[in-house]
Structures are given as structure tokens and as C-alpha cells.
Amino acid sequence: MSERELLKLRVVVRGRVQGIGFRRFVWRIAQSLPISGWVKNNPDGSVEIEVGGAPEHIGHFISDVRQGSFLSRVDEIEELRREKLNQMPEVNFDIR
């Protein structure tokens, strides 16, 4: 992987994703990968995620998020923004 292959992606997840531990589920996925970012609840019942790292790690992360947790139901993942990064951000993923 070269530094030129780093991305930052922001997505909104819609479905049954609030009040059931979904943010903690997303955080646990992130802990298993060398990525950075955050996850937060939105007032409209969706969950917003920003994630940065290598495209293959982000792809694996989004795939796991799409499957959802035992109690969740992911209906849609909408990409809000995608940008290239010049360097890897500090590997840290927060629940907001």
C-alpha cells in the first residue's frame, strides 16, 4: 500500500440502527482494523460514520457494517463524501 492510496469516507446508515447498540457494534468492527474515524447518531434516526485508511480496510469495514448486528437492520448506506488523504490519520475510532 502506498500513501497515495488512503481515503476518508463519510456515510450515513439508515434502518433500525439507533437504541440497539449499533454504534458500539461499529466501534468493535473498527477496533479490528487499522482505520480511524468516528460514529454518531443523527437526529433523524440514522447513524453517521467517518472512516479513514486504506481502501481495502475501508471496504472490509463497510461490508461488515452493512451486515449489521443481531438487533439492527441496515436498509441503506449512503456515501456523503469521499476524499483522498495524503497521510494516514492516527488510528483511533471514537463513538460520539
Alpha helices (H) in the chain, listed in sequence order: 22-31, 55-67
Q: Are 9 and 29 in contact (CB under 8 A)?
A: no
- What amino acid positions are annotated as catalytic residues? 23, 41
CA distance 32 to 41: 21
